[in-house]
Amino acid sequence: MNILEQILDVKRKDMEDMDAIAGTIQPFNTLSLKDSLSSSGISVIAEIKMKSPSEGDIFPNADPMQIAKDYESAGASAISVLTDEQFFGGHINILKSVKDVVSIPVLRKDFIINSQQIMESGAANADAFLLIAEAITDQNISELINFGKELNLEALVEIHSEENAEIVAEISPDIVGVNCRNLKTMITDISYFDKMVKQLPVNSIKVAESGIKKGDELKYVSDLGYDAVLVGTSLMRTKYPGKALECLLEGVV
């Protein structure tokens, strides 16, 4: 059982205790992640993440609101907040507090497997949410994307495998991400971005996720045709993530 399967087992049990959606669905007032990532040059989704299964503790006593403000000042186009508590040290309330102090879109990064979690994301003032193709069926991907649209929440659909790249290409979501982390070994390989880019939908915003640590790597994925990167661990590990983002962007954007 790989780490994703372990996390999903826990998440499914958590969902059993979650209240079902009731009443009329009302759209939320949100910002567009797609528009924010559509500017010229490479855009950055800067992530707030306290720990991870692959890295252990990264920045356990971080101040999420200060980091969010620093990210925005440094030039982030959007902010990703890990809200999974058990494996990543996050919480949905962290997302709420971050959204209160920035004026750029905020992405909820979690293991979304049902519509209740999307409703919860909107109620916490998220603008967008992550869907991991390896965690759900292709039919559910489409259903959850469409449910999010009803609420004015956009989906970033993440893929790890070539098999799921074919499925996602047929769905053609507005925003698609390639994660270069191998789910079995947890090792990142940024050459995977080159392998996958030609399999992505032509009209989708393309996001390179994981493994980006230096400015030349940022330029590398930009030259491949990606519109944005999602960067977290390498920034948070420095304990000065805003400054680290400034350094990453120097000479690239």
Active site amino acids = 47, 49, 109, 158, 179, 209-210
Q: Beta 128-132 vs 106-109: how paired, if at all?
A: parallel
Closest CA to 216 of 250, 179, 182: 250
Q: CB of 131 within 8 A of CB of 141?
A: yes
Task: Give Cα separations from 155 to 6, 7, 63, 68, 174 (angstroms).
Answer: 23, 20, 26, 21, 8
Q: Beta 175-179 vs 154-159: how paired, if at all?
A: parallel
Closest CA to 104 of 30, 175, 50: 30
Say how far residue 98 (Cα) sits from the centre of its chain: 15
Q: What are the backbone dihedrals phi and psi of residue 91, each rounded to the nearest 5 degrees, phi first?
A: -170, 150
Please list the residues that pair with 207 across neighbouring strands: 177, 228
